[in-house]
Structure 1
Amino acid sequence: MPIQGRFFRRLSEGVAALARRLRRDERGAIAVQFALLALPLSILIFGLVDVGRLSLQRRQMQDALDAATLIAARSTAATDAELDAAGDAAFLAEIAGMNLGLTASNSTFTAGTNNRVVGSVTATLKPIIANFWQRGDFTVTARSEVVRSSKDLEVALVLDITGSMGGTRIADLKVAASDLVDIIVRDTQTPFYSKIALVPYAAGVNVDTYADAVRGPVPVRDVSNVAWVASGTPITAITKAWPARVTSNNHGLVTGDKVLITGINASGSNSMSSLNGQTYTVRRDTNNRVWLDGVNTTLKSNYSSGGTIQKCLTSNCSLVVTTGASHGFSTGDQISFTGIGGTTTLNGQTVSITSLTSTTFDTGVAGLGTAAYTSGGTATCEQSTTPGCRRLAYVSNWGNNKVRSISTCVSERTGPQAYTDAAPSTAYVGTNYPSVSPETNSPNPCPSAKITPLSSDKASLKAQINAYAAGGSTAGHIGLAWGWYMVAPNFGYIWPSASQRPAAYKTKDLMKVVILMTDGAFNTPYCNGVIAANAGAGSGSDDDHINCNATNGDSFSQARALCTAIKNSAYDITLYTVGFDVGSDATARSFLTDCASDSSKAFFPATGSELKSSFKAIAQEISSLRISK
């Protein structure tokens, strides 16, 4: 108990005892003394009431400060100024009606160490009776500390930069998205971090230098050998006849085989050695003899010795390349070569191949006269009718032959992992062969804006956003998928820096958020890396679409499946959607409402200013949830 309290308790007890004695004492002197003491004793007794009132006011002030500090800690305020503003408002609300005579200037709220919020208040309370024996007012102080609960924050911002977002729309989006970055990403990244990843999308998502890792690299195979004839068997005789007959034990040849003859020794001016270095077609006679079709040796001198007959590896005696591992190339693929030692004639050439085995293919380049292979070299797939090579040859929806070049954009993943966050090392996402000039008269290119992995660098994030340009059709389902991938731990190994890699799902004190923004219908699904035949209106010319329907179905169907997968409780991801000026588009509104984690997280701004307000509201709600959830 405070000293003042103990003093006044003892004083009151003494006064009461004295009064009892005086009531029993009937002597006149004592009565006079009691009369003289009555007034000061009364003042002291009433002072006890004064002190009790002050004690009550101090308790009320402490309670109000405790509540206000807690409210400030749960707010989104970060700086001392923001905390003070939030705390002052809460403090005034708490003391309203208490008649304590306090104002906002009495209280102060600041950020303390170790994620604490510190509140303090100083008050001057006026006594009623006590100032008879002391000068001035009572000065009372109170202090409160709250450990601010918080969470790490990983947010993927998926932004529509399609052609319909041109003009003021893209300008409004840049402001809205930049404001969101400012609110969500805190200047102080300890003890809790807050990061944002950016996924701008149009006809696809540009993954930039990560393309090889996520959709697979263009196939490049190491060359282990180049040859055009087999090892062969020794020649022991050649007849002077038409056609000539060659004896070579266990030659293994069949009728129609092409062969090369080399190494016959000279035996005169018109010797059999003239057969050297030439290719011939044989007819099988026995296991040990073959005829050389059309070869007349009747005028040659007799065979002397030596020579080898070697079977060509192909029917046209062309060069056959062997790769160290399965090449994966198909007949008709166009393959280029570089760095081959010895058989340098292939270097710099691009040829249409015939696949022979999983590790060999026929180049179609004549082998006769080429130097023997020595070492090294690579074979690269330049063009194919299946996705993966540098160029894709396909038939358009109008029946025309087209050729497109691969881009650093990607399309949707197909197969069993289409709607999962499985690592690209398990299942690649789709390739993208966009419609670009001069390949087409109606370009629908890979957007220049690229993805940005999780980052707390506000300046860099806003610089990326401010560089966005509108153009192209709407593959919103691909954008949504990449929003998920940016916060998916299974994709983390792709990013070069540990700070860019998302934490595991349901890590303690972690929030993961995906925000999908679009201004209209999704209309751009793919088949074999080209916009599908059944793509929606606004996705470019039918002549630029491939003549097959979308592998996974239409864009909205794919997006719905992704929404369901993302909201699986195993991931604990909060999903927001923003439909910018979608108006009466019932399909878009229904999709966006259903896609969000709940209907309160679906926003439908109609104007640029409403778009900014929606983004701000989302940012503030995320920040609030981050602190209080």
Structure 2
Amino acid sequence: MPFQGLFNHCSRFCRETRGNVATIFALSLVPVALLSGGAVDLSQSMNARSRLAQALDAAALAVGVNTSLSNAQATQIANDFIAANYPGRELGVVQNINVSVDDVTDTVTVTGEARVQTTMLGMAGIDYITVHWESEVQRARQRLELVMVLDNTGSMGGSKIRNLRDSAELLTEILFDAADEPEDVKIGLVPFAATVNVGTNYERAWWLDPLAASPLHAEWAGGSTVEVETCTGRGRRRRCTTEEVLINHWDLFDDLRNTEWEGCVEARAIPMDIDDTPPSVGNPETLFVPFFAPDEPDNDRDYSNDYLDDGITSSLLGRLINLLKYDNGRPSGGGPNSACTTTPITPLTSNRSRLLNAIDDMEANGTTNIPQGVGWGIRVLSPQEPFTEGTAYDDREIIKAMVILTDGDNVMTGRSTDLRSDYSAYGFSAHGRLGTTSSSSSTLGNRLDDRLEDACDYAKAQGIRVYTITFQVNSSSTRDLMRGCASNPSLYFDSPSSEALEDAFEMIAGDLTNLRLSR
């Protein structure tokens, strides 16, 4: 039977099992590969969705900052921001972008989708995965009170101070342009160096201790009252009388020729040196003292501020408190305003022109005392005296913010003298107002760092949103200090160039446009 052999061969083939495992395994590789590759493709699509959300959020914020855009302009801005924030080469193409601006509800909606090419799912006929996202931004109807605390020290000279002016003016313009009403934004300015200038218009103001009642007034002389001996006659006819004389910085300025108080103030005692405890005549310790650097002893190179002839050759203290030398004295080199180098504070204002003019007037000179700048920044934002333009801290309709910029380390120069330092906002180191009597510049700088940390903590405890910027700072410890000062690390900006500085101010302006993502 010719078919019997063929039938037997087929039967044996069907019963054979030795090669089936390999065959089944080979066939199973196809769905396994599809599942594994599909997981990779799906993961890529989820990544694309996340990046699309970020890009559309940025686009919606950028459109929302501007209150008077045509539809074409809004769409162009959105497309530009999406292109800058979405990595198209890795994650496919963004398409079907739609921008909607609702002037009634004051919302901006940006929708779009990303088309991501698959790798393994193409074997199953799925060549692309499309993900969608919608971002909606609504302008928060909150008002803003911002103070810029800006380093105006000598190291900021030349192009650096020009770059700072330009960047600060950019932030100012963006914030005022984004305001629904001009009064919705108030901005103040605190230029700082070794001291802070409150403005000569406050001369002999009640809170500037006109009666020398503060225990820190004339601390360099041992207190605001000293005993002065006056003698007349000679020999047996010589008669001497002793009387208490009030040493008042205001009177000393009046006594000097061609010299007036230039507006700077000294630090109060710790912890009031950096907080906004309101001044009170009934509590002299809370009053501020006008900055007056006394004439230091003659003929000694270790003393840095000798500007009058001592007139006597007695002890150090005797020469310091020799008040007669100030009477009609003419300072030569240095002077009582030696560390007063900045332009005045501009209190919170909605007057754009006034603020821009103040920024443009900033000049670079002097050494660095960041905590005094921050302390006065807090007082500018505070509703309490001496500046009262700020609203209450617990007003939920107000965002209070501070921008702090420096280009270097805190500095207080130590000296190998009995006074142990140059005269600063904290007086001479020998009197311990900074919490140390060291003559080491390093130790004094570290103490200023400590005061800065406390000032930043105090500001944040009041609900102030703190942004910090370092501009071409080489010191890692100062960068770390300023990073820790910010309300959170993302609000710290290290700016190694003028371009980075401008970007930092622009990013801060964007964060302060009172916008919030509603979903």
TM above 0.5? yes
Measure, in 1, the Cα distance between the counterparts of 2:420 and 2:489: 31
Check if 1:433 corresponds to 2:288.
no
3-state SS of paired residue (2:188): strand
Q: CA deviation at 1:219?
A: 2.5
Contact 1:152 1:626 in 2 (8 A): no
Q: 1:415 to 1:353 in 2, by over 3 A?
A: farther
- Offset from partner CA, 1:99-143 (integer Å, 9 cap, x none): xxx966xx66446257455899xxxxxxxxxxxxxxxxxxxxxxx
TM-aligned CA deviation for residue 549 of structure 1: 4.0
Could you tell me which runs of 5 or more consecutive residues in structure 2 were left unpaired when the two chains were aligned.
1-54, 89-94, 112-134, 214-222, 230-240, 295-304, 308-329, 436-446
Matched with 1:354 is 243
Name the residue aligned to 1:413.
Answer: 268
Please tell me whether residue 512 in structure 1 is matched to residue 400 in structure 2.
Answer: yes
Counterparts of 1:434-513 in structure 2 under 5 Å? 434=293, 439=331, 441-442=333-334, 444-491=338-385, 494-495=387-388, 501-513=389-401
For 1:626 and 1:482, the matched residues in 2 are separated by 28
Q: Matched residue of 1:521: which SS? A: coil
Task: Provide Cα deviations, 1:256-296, integer angstroms capped at 9, x if missing partner.
Answer: xxxxxxxxxxxxxxxxxxxxxxxxxxxxxxxxxxxxxxxxx
How many percent of aligned residue pairs carry the same amino acid?
Answer: 24
**Amino acid aligned to 1:163:** G
Distance 1:559 1:482, change over 3 A: same
Question: Is the 2:342–2:364 contact (alpha carbons within 8 Å) kept by the matching residues of 1?
Answer: no
Matched, 1:178 2:33: no
Structure 1 stretches of 4+ with a deviation exceeding 6 A read: 67-71, 88-94, 435-438
Which of 48, 60, 72 does residue 60 from structure 2 map onto?
72
TM-score by length of 1: 0.48
Q: Give the match for residue 470 of structure 2.
A: 579
Amino acid corresponding to residue 243 of structure 2 in structure 1:
T
Deviations 1:432-453 (A, max 9, x none): 1148876353463423511111
Q: Which residue of 2 aligns with 1:207?
A: 198
Aligned runs of 1:317-396 on 2, under 5 Å? 330-332=225-227, 354-355=243-244, 384-385=246-247, 389-391=251-253
Q: Secondary structure at the match of 2:225?
A: coil
Q: Which fold has the larger relative contact order, with Cα–Cα distance below 8 Å and residues 6 or more apart in sequence? A: 2
Query: Does the aligned pair in 2 maintain the 1:77–1:83 contact within 8 Å?
Result: no
TM-score by length of 2: 0.57
Q: Deviations over 1:543-571 (max 9, x none)?
A: xx747244023322221221121121xx2
Which residue type is aligned with residue 210 of structure 1?
Answer: Y
**Does structure 1 retain, via aligned residues, the 8 Å contact 2:108–2:138?**
yes
Question: In the TM superposition, what are the counterparts of 1:55-70 in structure 2 within 5 Å?
Answer: none
Structure 1: gaps (5+ residues): 1-66, 97-101, 121-143, 222-327, 335-351, 356-382, 394-403, 496-500
Amino acid across the alignment from 2:291: N
Contact 2:62–2:77 (Cα < 8 Å) also in 1? no
- CA distance in structure 1 between the partners assigned to 2:476 and 2:263 by the alignment: 34
Corresponding position of 2:314: none
Q: How much has 1:76 moved relative to structure 2?
A: 4.5
Mark the CA change 1:73 to 1:422 in structure 2 (over 3 Å): closer, same or farther.
Answer: same
> Contact 1:524–1:532 (CA<8 Å) still a contact in 2?
no
**Whole-angstrom distance in 2 between the partners of 1:73 and 1:594:** 27
- What per-residue deviation string (whole Å, max 9, x for no partner) do you get for residues 475-526 of structure 1? 22111101111111223x645xxxxx11111312321111111111112499
1:214–1:178 Cα change, 3 Å: farther
Secondary structure of the structure 1 residue equivalent to 2:495: coil
RMSD, aligned CA? 4.5
1:599-614 mapped onto 2 (5 Å cutoff): 599-614=489-504
Equivalent in the alignment of 1:99: none
Partner-residue secondary structure (3-state), 1:483:
helix
Structure 1: distance between partners of 2:363 and 2:404: 18
- Pick from 459, 476, 500 the counterpart of residue 566 of structure 1: 459
Whose Rg is larger?
Answer: 1
AA partner of residue 614 (structure 1): A
**1:590-616 deviation line (CA, Å, top 9, x unaligned):** 321221112222222122222222222
Q: How does 1:30-41 map to 2 (within 5 A)?
A: none
SS of the residue corresponding to residue 481 of structure 2 reads helix
In structure 1, the residue matched to 2:481 is 591
Once the two structures are superposed, the pairs formed by residues 132-147 of structure 1 within 5 Å of their partners are none
From 85, 103, 108, the counterpart of 1:112: 103
**Which of 207, 211, 218 is 2:210 aligned to?**
218
| Structure 1 residue 186, shift from structure 2 partner | 3.1
Q: Is the 8 A contact 2:371 2:451 kept in 1?
A: yes
Secondary structure of the 2:161 match is: helix
Q: Which amino acid aligns with 1:564?
A: D
Aligned pair 1:552/2:434, yes or no?
yes
Aligned residues: 355
